[in-house]
Amino acid sequence: MIHTNLKKKFSYFVLVFLLFAVICVWKKGSYEALRLQAKEFQVSRLAVGSGFQSMSTSSKQDPKQDSHILRHLRGTANVRSPPSSYQVWDKDSSAKNLNPRLQKILKNYLNMNKYKVSYKGPGPGVKLSAEALRCHLRDHVNVSMVEATDFPFNTSEWKGYLPKENIRTKAGPWRRCAVVSSAGSLKSSQLGKEIDNHDAVLRFNGAPIANFQQDVGTKTTIRLMNSQLITTEKQFLKNSLYHEGTLIVWDPSLYHADIPSWYKKPDYNFFEIYKNYRKLYPNQPFYMLRPQMPWELWDIMQEISPDWIQPNPPSSGMLGIIIMMTLCDQVDIYEFLPSKRKTDMCYYHQSFFDSACTMGAYHPLLFEKNLVKHLNEGTDEDIYLFGKATLSGFRSIKC
Ligand SMILES: *[C@@H]1O[C@H](CO)[C@@H](O)[C@H](O)[C@H]1NC(C)=O
Ligand SMILES: *[C@@H]1O[C@H](CO)[C@@H](O)[C@H](O)[C@H]1NC(C)=O
């Protein structure tokens, strides 16, 4: 009897204490919460490095800032979580890291070779330092747009449709730029303010802002879209989402095809809808990416990757990163390398789940992530907490 009473009392005490702690943490607000998470990460890394001993030492070093309950929660979190949960993307990931289904899809794409890829360059598996890789990209990936003088866009059929000005006169140069993926892990990230605090922000396809401002921000300076989106999205001509900033559309050509052959055989025939959009909004800059650019980038990815990669063009995400590297001194990339919020949910704005959205099926996503991780100059902690990678732009490097 006495025994149960004591037990009851003790449970009440613990409950009240927990409630008190929850209210305390809640009141401190999200900024404080992020700081706490940052500390949690440091503590955990120590714990992973040298075992339980260092974990208890590190909490002893900081007695004033830690309430007992938080120390306790951290302690149990450390014991329960396997060390791997604090790891971020491994830049040497290989196709063997894919699940059997995705490995099979990769093999199928290699056999299919839809774009008639015949890679003749060095590799695979050439090892380059981050500095050498950055220079290699700068010197071999020509980021430019289709111009009004390129056949067949110089014919009467196309007169007046392509922007007259070079994109470099419309976009940048900027100091700090943000590339915002559409990943499901952006949901509840609270990164909106951080993202808006950049000189320019690049977004992808139909990624919305309304209802997601807190997580993805409000600014759109460039929107990079694939040809599939603009040919299939019924609202493309109407939705005001597309009316902000500079638009760029890209469409895969056959491997290293020139503009005239691409024009005859685009992946998605978006040319009419492009013209219609230009008629409606002639003052909004709207460019077509040179179809050679994705394959110039693909060649370098194949050169440095340990395996044969999907012979399909890089993702819009990877293309957007390289585009911003040509326009900005520094590029902060959000949730391209997954944070601790990593999820199989494909988009922050849609409840659709598939591991292929992180690891890649059609696009060589795994190898793109390896490349971005290799070039990252930010910390693993920033990746883990915020999904943030920081790359130097081509403008600010010496080769
Ligand atoms: C990049 O492509 C554009 C358009 O074809 C061309 O005018 C320019 O010379 C190229 N730049 C380099 C560095 O090859
Ligand atoms: C368009 O460009 C092609 C190839 O450069 C050239 O042969 C042709 O004369 C040009 N057409 C016009 C109308 O300028």
Question: Tokens 């149960």 identify what position?
Answer: 4
User: Which of 124, 117, 167, 122 shows the shortest CA–CA distance to 140?
Assistant: 122
Query: Which amino acid residue places its CA nearest to atom 13 of ligand 1?
Result: 142
Site to substitute for ligand 2 among 151, 155, 156, most atoms within 8 A of C-beta: 151
Report the pLDDT value the prediction gives residue 268, as an integer from 0 to 100: 97
CB 141 within 8 A of CB 293: yes
Q: Is the pLDDT of residue 4 over 90?
A: no
Report the pLDDT value the prediction gives residue 64, as an integer from 0 to 100: 32
Ligand 2 atom showing the smallest separation from residue 152 Cα: 1
Segment 178-205 shows an average pLDDT of 94
Amino acid letter, 254: L
How far apart are the C-alpha atoms of 157 and 395, rounded to whole Å?
37
Q: How far is the CA of 156 from the centre of ligand 2 (A)?
A: 11
pLDDT in tens, 56-112: 333 333 333 323 322 332 333 344 444 445 688 888 888 888 889 888 999 999 999
Q: Is the pLDDT of residue 146 over 70?
A: yes
User: Which of 336, 349, 331 shows the shortest CA–CA distance to 394?
Assistant: 331
Q: Which residues contact 174 (CB under 8 A, 6 or more apart)?
A: 198, 199, 200, 327, 328, 329
Q: Is 142 in the pocket of ligand 1 (CB under 6 A)?
A: yes
Query: Which amino acid residue places its CA nearest to atom 14 of ligand 2?
Result: 154
What are the angstrom distances between the C-alpha of 325 and each of 48, 138, 227, 287? 35, 9, 22, 17
pLDDT in tens, 321-351: 999 999 999 999 999 998 888 888 878 888 7
Report the pLDDT value the prediction gives residue 240, as an integer from 0 to 100: 95
Q: Is the pLDDT of residue 130 over 70?
A: yes
pLDDT category at 170 given cuts 50, 70, 90 is confident
Report the pLDDT value the prediction gives residue 20, as an integer from 0 to 100: 52
Q: Is 85 in the pocket of ligand 1 (CB under 6 A)?
A: no
How far apart are the C-alpha atoms of 55 and 51, rounded to whole Å?
7
Ligand 2 atom showing the smallest separation from residue 154 Cα: 1
Q: Is 258 in the pocket of ligand 1 (CB under 6 A)?
A: no
Report the pLDDT value the prediction gives residue 9, as an integer from 0 to 100: 60
- 165: tokens are 């000005």
- 61: tokens are 């070093």
Q: Is the pLDDT of residue 306 over 50?
A: yes
Query: Which amino acid residue places its CA nearest to atom 5 of ligand 2?
Result: 151
Report the pLDDT value the prediction gives residue 13, as an integer from 0 to 100: 54
How far apart are the C-alpha atoms of 146 and 227, rounded to whole Å?
14
Q: Is 166 in the pocket of ligand 1 (CB under 6 A)?
A: no
Q: How far is the CA of 36 from the centre of ligand 1 (A)?
A: 49
Report the pLDDT value the prediction gives residue 271, as an integer from 0 to 100: 98
Report the pLDDT value the prediction gives residue 10, as an integer from 0 to 100: 53
Cβ-based neighbour number of residue 131 at 10 Å: 13
Indicate if the alpha-carbon torsion angle 229, 231, 235, 239 is positive or negative: positive
Query: Which amino acid residue places its CA nearest to atom 1 of ligand 1?
Result: 142
How far apart are the C-alpha atoms of 112 and 115, rounded to whole Å?
9
Q: Is the pLDDT of residue 300 over 50?
A: yes
Q: Is the pLDDT of residue 153 over 90?
A: yes
Whether the bond into 152 is cis, omega within 30 of 0: yes
Q: How far is the CA of 67 from the centre of ligand 1 (A)?
A: 60
Report the pLDDT value the prediction gives residue 76, as an integer from 0 to 100: 36
Q: β-strands 200-204, 222-226: how paired? A: parallel
Whether the bond into 282 is cis, omega within 30 of 0: no
Q: Provide the H-helix boundaries in 174-291.
A: 192-196, 213-216, 227-232, 259-264, 271-280
pLDDT in tens, 241-288: 999 999 999 999 999 999 999 999 999 999 999 999 999 999 999 999
Q: How far is the CA of 326 from the centre of ligand 1 (A)?
A: 13
CB 136 within 8 A of CB 300: yes
Q: Is 144 in the pocket of ligand 1 (CB under 6 A)?
A: yes
Neighbour-count burial of 301, counting CB atoms closer than 10 A to its CB (0-12 exposed, 13-18 middle, 19+ buried): buried
Query: What ligand is nearest to the CA atom of residue 153?
Result: 2
Query: Which amino acid residue places its CA nearest to atom 10 of ligand 1?
Result: 142
Query: What ligand is nearest to the CA atom of residue 142?
Result: 1
Q: How far is the CA of 156 from the centre of ligand 1 (A)?
A: 24
User: Which of 223, 197, 208 shows the shortest CA–CA distance to 320?
Assistant: 223
Q: Please give the mean pLDDT across all residues of the chain.
A: 82
Q: Is the pLDDT of residue 1 over 50?
A: no
Report the pLDDT value the prediction gives residue 70, as an integer from 0 to 100: 22
Q: How many Å separate Cα 42 from the centre of its chain?
A: 24
CB 174 within 8 A of CB 323: no
Q: β-strands 246-250, 222-226: how paired? A: parallel
What are the angstrom distances between the C-alpha of 239 and each of 53, 233, 247, 344? 57, 10, 14, 28
Percent of the chain surpassing pLDDT 70: 78
Q: Which residues line ligand 2 (CB under 6 A)?
A: 151, 154-155
| 3-state class percentages of the chain: helix first, strand second, coil last, to nearest 5 | 50, 10, 40
Report the pLDDT value the prediction gives residue 346, as an integer from 0 to 100: 78
Q: Is the pLDDT of residue 36 over 80?
A: no
Alpha carbon distance, N-terminus to C-terminus of the chain? 79
Report the pLDDT value the prediction gives residue 86, as an integer from 0 to 100: 65
Percent of the chain surpassing pLDDT 90: 64
Q: Is the pLDDT of residue 43 over 90?
A: no
Report the pLDDT value the prediction gives residue 3, as an integer from 0 to 100: 53
Q: How far is the CA of 290 from the centre of ligand 1 (A)?
A: 10
